[in-house]
Amino acid sequence: MTASPLEAVRTYEVRTYGCQMNVHDSERLSGMLEQAGYLPVAEGDNPDVLVFNTCAVRENADNKLYGNLSHLVPVKARHPGMQIAVGGCLAQKDQAEILRRAPNVDVVFGTHNLGSLPVLLERARIEHEAQVEIRDSLVDFPSVLPAKREAAYAAWVSVSVGCNNSCTYCIVPSLRGGERDRRPGDILAEVGMLVQQGVLEITLLGQNVNAYGVEFGDRQAFSRLLRACGTVEGLERVRFTSPHPHDFTDDVIAAMAETDNVMPQLHMPLQSGSDAILRAMRRSYRQDRYLGLLDKVRAAIPDAAITTDIIVGFPGETEEDFEQTMHVVREARFAGAYTFIYSPRPGTPAATMPDQVPYDVKHARYRRLVDVANAIVWEENTARIGSTVEVLVALGEGRKDAARDRVSGRGPDNRLVHVAIDPSHPLPRPGDVVTAEITQAAPYHLIADRVLHVRRTRAGDASEVPAAPATGSGVSLGMPAIRVGSA
């Protein structure tokens, strides 16, 4: 379905909300639209097709989406032929309700049928009628769809979609369905192809990567996959997200420790430090298991930077429960913590539990937690001063440091590092690797102003070729910062 030469080429923009799974899916949406003949819209212009890839995990996501859509009413009126498509988790949740609340939407598609987008757009255009297509189960693994990646040096590779757990606060299983695993051969073939294209870093992606293999009955499938990634020539960095503390087995720790290109970094969602709350969340590990896991990981991988997700104010959470979470945060010394105020998601068991915590209480606890967690992160960052890191330079990551003659990227442990541009070395490009000494620490980043070496890579070369329509997809990617969908 390529645009005919007589037709003006139509432009598109994809706006992405939520987790990495959506970022991954948006790369497929962009890839498919380009294959269908659309071009990315120039910055500042209105696209002919605007796609919202939505998230339902956050509170108010719906209101924000409907607000955005209503702002587009006059834009669409001024722009004949403009089409608006809504996909992702909110679309899966609200389905045709989206059209009732936002009649200017042309296409609604779900998390299980991304591949239908170009056809639905075309059908809506020809039939002058909005199209809604939501499926209950996966049509195609998104991985088989064409992708348009923002960065030449890093890529997401999905190992599974969906989740078989039923954490009581979480809406993901009802929107993404049960777990479906990709075959290891398919995953490794994709990894190999990406590395051939110059990719240096891959992040294996799944709602619960440690459960990987349940579908084909191999309990050690994930550790085998990590080890197999270790044999891929040219693949420098392997990460994964997210594991679940329940399924995080010793074979995975051993594979991490013994596979050179698996990075010393782990994002391990805690959610709560209280055993009673973990039980109410239907999370099957307890505080001592969680802390014990971190001990094992650190014994095997001494430099591991461990980050987490925490929910504050789950129904029934008492001051004592909250103190248990604070206790774990103090013990665990996380290198980063994503903290969330519990927000009821309609349709989840926790939403109707008694003893919902009043907003003021949730908020006050949240502030206390953030203060303690941030202070620890800063202390841990400060302890890195004087050490040497290899920074994989990213596309426009972090704050605007260009004016200060620095580029930004991630160290092996995934910490954000701003590194000096030193005229006595080659100018580092996105995808190149700079070895430098850390000279300063801040709460959310490190500064490395003593440059020892700049290694030019194939990914760096690729970033110099004016990336054919590389902007305008609306997905700002850079290096995958560890934000997690779930687990």
| Sites of contact with ligand 5AD (CB under 6 A) | 57, 169-170, 269, 271, 309, 311, 340, 342-343, 345, 484-486
Q: Does 36 bind ligand SF4 (CB under 6 A)?
A: no
CB of 97 to ligand SF4, least distance (A): 23
Q: Does 170 bind ligand SF4 (CB under 6 A)?
A: yes
Q: How far apart are CA 429 and CA 407, in angstroms?
A: 8
175 touches, from ligand SF4, ligand 5AD, none (C-beta below 5 to 8 Å by class)? none
Q: How far apart are CA 285 and CA 275, in angstroms?
A: 8
Choose which of 24, 148, 149, 244 interacts with ligand SF4 (CB under 6 A): 244
Q: Residue 226: what residue type?
A: L
SS3 392: strand
208 touches, from ligand SF4, ligand 5AD, none (C-beta below 5 to 8 Å by class)? ligand SF4
395 touches, from ligand 5AD, ligand SF4, none (C-beta below 5 to 8 Å by class)? none
How far is Cα of residue 426 from the mean position of the Cα atoms in its chain?
31
Q: How many CB atoms lie within 10 A of CB 441?
A: 19
Q: Does 207 bind ligand SF4 (CB under 6 A)?
A: yes
Residues 68, 88 contacting (CB under 8 angstroms): no
SS3 134: coil
Q: Does 167 bind ligand SF4 (CB under 6 A)?
A: yes
Q: In 148-307, which ranges are continuous DSSP H helix?
A: 172-176, 184-196, 221-229, 250-258, 275-280, 287-300
∠ CA 449-445-385, nearest 5°, is 55
Choose which of 98, 163, 304, 436 interacts with ligand SF4 (CB under 6 A): 163
Q: Does 22 bind ligand SF4 (CB under 6 A)?
A: no
- Of 21 and 147, the one with the shorter C-beta distance to ligand SF4 is 21
- Cα radius of gyration rounded to whole Å, the chain: 23
How far is Cα of residue 428 from the mean position of the Cα atoms in its chain?
25
Q: Does 487 bind ligand SF4 (CB under 6 A)?
A: yes
440 touches, from ligand 5AD, ligand SF4, none (C-beta below 5 to 8 Å by class)? none
Report the number of secondary-structure helices (H) and strands (E) in the chain: 14, 21
Choose which of 265, 307, 339, 486 interacts with ligand SF4 (CB under 6 A): 486
476 touches, from ligand 5AD, ligand SF4, none (C-beta below 5 to 8 Å by class)? none
SS3 201: strand
Q: How far apart are CA 474 and CA 476, in angstroms?
A: 6
The footprint of ligand SF4 on this chain (CB under 6 A) covers a number of residues equal to: 12
Choose which of 172, 195, 252, 421 interacts with ligand SF4 (CB under 6 A): 172
Burial of 361: CB neighbours in 10 Å, binned 0-12, 13-18, 19+:
middle
Q: Does 165 bind ligand SF4 (CB under 6 A)?
A: yes
- Of 41 and 311, the one with the shorter C-beta distance to ligand 5AD is 311
> What are the residues binding ligand SF4 (CB under 6 A)?
163, 165-167, 170, 172-173, 207-208, 244, 486-487
